[in-house]
A and B are shown apart, each in its own frame.
Chain A
Amino acid sequence: EAQVTQNPRYLITVTGKKLTVTCSQNMNHEYMSWYRQDPGLGLRQIYYSMNVEVTDKGDVPEGYKVSRKEKRNFPLILESPSPNQTSLYFCAIQDRALSTDTQYFGPGTRLTVL
């Protein structure tokens, strides 16, 4: 069964203090993605990665960075967090080899930036 792990699950931080949210998968899937969820806006894609060393911007990439140095990990980096990045973040993976278009989501990370 596909498993997506995110850490931390909850984080309260202050403006400007760099942070990283990790995402790890146990399925060797090529495609990984980050979303943020805000009330009344649904989920919006931040960044995605088609494979190792291949990343691209989603709909709301400003203020975020990602890296994909190995297949299983896709960390989300906030170099200088701001209060408008307070949100619920989800990592997702997809088995593109089967072209199922189904994504599996991690449990979420609730971030508060003061």
Chain B
Amino acid sequence: AQSVTQLDSHVSVSEGTPVLLRCNYSSSYSPSLFWYVQHPNKGLQLLLKYTSAATLVKGINGFEAEFKKSETSFHLTKPSAHMSDAAEYFCVVTLNYGGSQGNLIFGKGTKLSVKP
């Protein structure tokens, strides 16, 4: 069975400092992993995805994530936070094999606050 755990429900950083949003997953098969962002009163936007290619994945808006199989982690990072990064972030896992049904398993979300 697959599952995903976002280790922090809320993270607060100052503008210009690094961002780290933590995610651990559990999957019996080779997973695909995603980070989605949801700004207040907005829909979901794909930030980046890992699908068994390079383990360091670069996404939009300066975010990146590293797939670490030995640690079953897929943490999201950004070197320097911007006020516009304040949003809720979701780590997502799905199976990655030939007959994938595409069912996504969402983490419970991490709210990122950015202080001026």
Chain A interface (Cβ < 8 Å from any Cβ of B)? 31, 33, 35, 40-45, 48, 50, 58, 90, 92, 94, 96, 99-108
* Inter-chain contacts of B42 with A (CB < 8 A): 107
Chain B contributes a number of interface residues (CB within 8 A of A) equal to: 22
**Residue of B9, B94, B106 with most chain A CB atoms under a 10 A cut-off:** B106
- Asked if B108 lies at the interface with its beta carbon under 8 angstroms from chain A, I say yes
A86 and B68 alpha carbons, distance in the complex (Å): 38
- Looking at chain B's contact residues, the main secondary structure is loop
Interface residues of B in 84-110 (CB under 8 A from A): 90, 94, 96, 98, 100-104, 106-109
- Looking at chain A's contact residues, the main secondary structure is strand
In contact, B90 and A105 (Cβ under 8 angstroms): no
A107 and B44 alpha carbons, distance in the complex (Å): 8
Chain B interface (Cβ < 8 Å from any Cβ of A)? 9, 32, 34, 42-44, 46, 49, 51, 90, 94, 96, 98, 100-104, 106-109
In contact, B103 and A45 (Cβ under 8 angstroms): yes
A48 and B100 alpha carbons, distance in the complex (Å): 13
In contact, A102 and B43 (Cβ under 8 angstroms): no
